Amino acid sequence: MKGAQRYGCFMEGPQQECKQCGSCCSSGGPALHREDERLVRSGALPLAQLITIRKGEIAHNPLTNSLQPVNQELVKISGVGREWNCCFLDPEEKGCTIYEHRPMACRALQCWDTRAIEELIEKDTLSRLDLIGDNNPLRSSVEEHERLFPCPDMKALLTRGPSDHAAELEDLVNEEIAYRTRVVQSFDLSLGEELFYFGRPLFHLCVAAGAEVVEVEERLIVSWPKGRFGTV
Ligand code: SF4
Ligand code: SF4
């Protein structure tokens, strides 16, 4: 160490290494890639700690730094809390509790040089069906659910609301929650497992698009207050 550097870090140059501040783990878990399949198969990443982001759902696109519909289904590590911290982040220590088994995107992330992580975005990502074995009895339910209840056009919902399809969408929201409740009960799925197999319920997506949802006599009532649209 020479000169002024001896007396402190005020002469510090550009960041060259990870300071283990945990910030990058505080904005949602990473998407999984093909290379991460072994981590799921080995149990290092249990299905109950993964969440499916279905094609068309709105997610943060780091390339454009904006909220956009995803072009393909993604499986991500679940988030917790209001800030959506990665569920494997130790908030006290700001450390990763599965450091040796962290996914490829975490290993590639260098906040001071984002070229490697940008290369990975939406490339060779895993989908649910890559992780659900052919013999898994839930496979056909996942396929049927996707066929019956695809993600609605979120961009249209966010910019215009449901237009004249509000009643139709409300029916769909109720049919979907009844469908997933049946499957959840018959397979005794935890909430974490449900979110992996079926992603977020349609009513959640409506809330994310600005709707208000209340339950009245076992039916979800979806209303669309004016003035909440135009965010995408
Ligand atoms: S990569 Fe950057 S943001 Fe992430 S823990 Fe390291 S220093 Fe913090
Ligand atoms: S798996 Fe570990 S390194 Fe990756 S986002 Fe979660 S806490 Fe951070």
Residue 66 lies in a domain: yes
Ligand 2: distance of its center to the CA of 89 in Å?
6
Task: Give the number of the ligand closest to the Cα of residue 24.
Answer: 1
Alpha-carbon span 227 to 212, nearest angstrom: 13
CB 39 within 8 Å of CB 54: no
Based on the domain organization, do 40 and 57 belong to the same domain? yes
pLDDT at position 62 is: 67
Q: 173 and 226 in contact (C-beta within 8 Å)?
A: no
What is the Å distance from ligand 2's center to 69 Cα? 23
> Each residue of 2-61: pLDDT tens digit?
444 444 444 556 777 888 888 888 877 899 999 999 999 999 999 999 999 999 998 877
CB 32 within 8 A of CB 196: no
pTM of the model: 0.88
Q: What is the model's pLDDT at position 139?
A: 97
The pair phi, psi for residue 81, each rounded to 5°, is 75, 175
Does some domain include residue 11? no
Which ligand number lies closest to the CA of residue 23?
A: 1
Compute the distance between CA of residue 70 and CA of residue 119 in angstroms, rounded to an integer. Answer: 16
**How many domains is the chain built from?**
2
> Which domain-ending residue is among 83, 108, 129?
129
| Domain extent at residue 179 | 133-223
Domain membership of residue 60 (yes or no) is yes
121 and 60 belong to one structural domain: yes
CB 62 within 8 A of CB 118: yes
pLDDT digits (tens, 9 = 90+) for 69-112: 999 999 999 998 777 789 999 988 888 999 999 999 999 988 88
Residues 115-166: tens digit of each pLDDT: 888 888 889 999 999 999 899 999 999 999 999 999 999 989 988 888 889 9
